[in-house]
A and B are shown apart, each in its own frame.
Chain A
Amino acid sequence: AQSVTQLDSQVPVFEEAPVELRCNYSSSVSVYLFWYVQYPNQGLQLLLKYLSGSTLVKGINGFEAEFNKSQTSFHLRKPSVHISDTAEYFCAVTRRVGNTGNQFYFGTGTSLTVIP
């Protein structure tokens, strides 16, 4: 079975400071990895995804993430945050093998608050 752990439930950070949101996963098979963002009263929007290839993935809004297979991590980073980045962030995985569907396993989310 797959599980996703987001190590920080809440992350406050000052505007223009860097931020890292941590995500670790466990799986007995290879996985695809995703980060989604959710603004208040909205659905989920894809920030970035890792399928294969380069372990450094760049996404929208200046976010990037690095896949580390040995540490089973997929941490999300942004060098300089903006007030508009205040939102809930979800890390998710799907299996690469043996799954014919699109079932996502989500972490519990990290609430990022950008302080002016």
Chain B
Amino acid sequence: KAGVTQTPRYLIKTRGQQVTLSCSPISGHRSVSWYQQTPGQGLQFLFEYFSETQRNKGNFPGRFSGRQFSNSRSEMNVSTLELGDSALYLCASSLYLGTSTEAFFGQGTRLTVV
């Protein structure tokens, strides 16, 4: 069974640009969450999607957005990139909505903003 796939693995962008990251969850999983990991702030929750609807949102500015497609694949977009957006972005998929379900993480996308 294939795991969570995130593309691309590495990305370098310039300040002011926008970027789109992709996440394909485990087959059959309908919940996709996104996290930002930085040395200073650790792992922080961005948002969660289930059945194409955003169900939870973390404390990030509106420059961070996401969506989920009917096949459960998800994308997150960051507009007007800032140097502080450099981070490892992790996607997690779960079978369904509910806090007892195990979350499976992808390998992440390493975004560097220069």
Which A residues are within 8 Å of any B CB, using their own CB? 32, 36, 41-46, 49, 51, 90, 94-96, 99-109
Contact A100 B55, CB 8 Å, known A32-B99, A43-B107? yes
CA distance A41 to B98 in the complex (A): 28
B42 touches A41 (CB 8 A): no
Chief secondary structure at chain A's binding surface: loop
Residues of chain B with a CB closer than 8 A to A32's CB: 99-100
Residues of chain B with a CB closer than 8 A to A43's CB: 4, 6, 90, 105-108
The 8 Å CB contact of A104, one of B4, B45, B50, B97, is B45
Q: Can you list 18 residue pairs at the A/B interface with Cβ under 8 Å?
A: A42-B107, A43-B4, A43-B6, A43-B90, A43-B108, A46-B103, A101-B48, A101-B55, A102-B99, A102-B101, A103-B33, A103-B56, A103-B58, A104-B45, A104-B103, A105-B45, A107-B42, A108-B42
Closest to B56 in A: A101
Shortest B102–chain A CB gap in Å is 6
CA distance A45 to B94 in the complex (A): 13
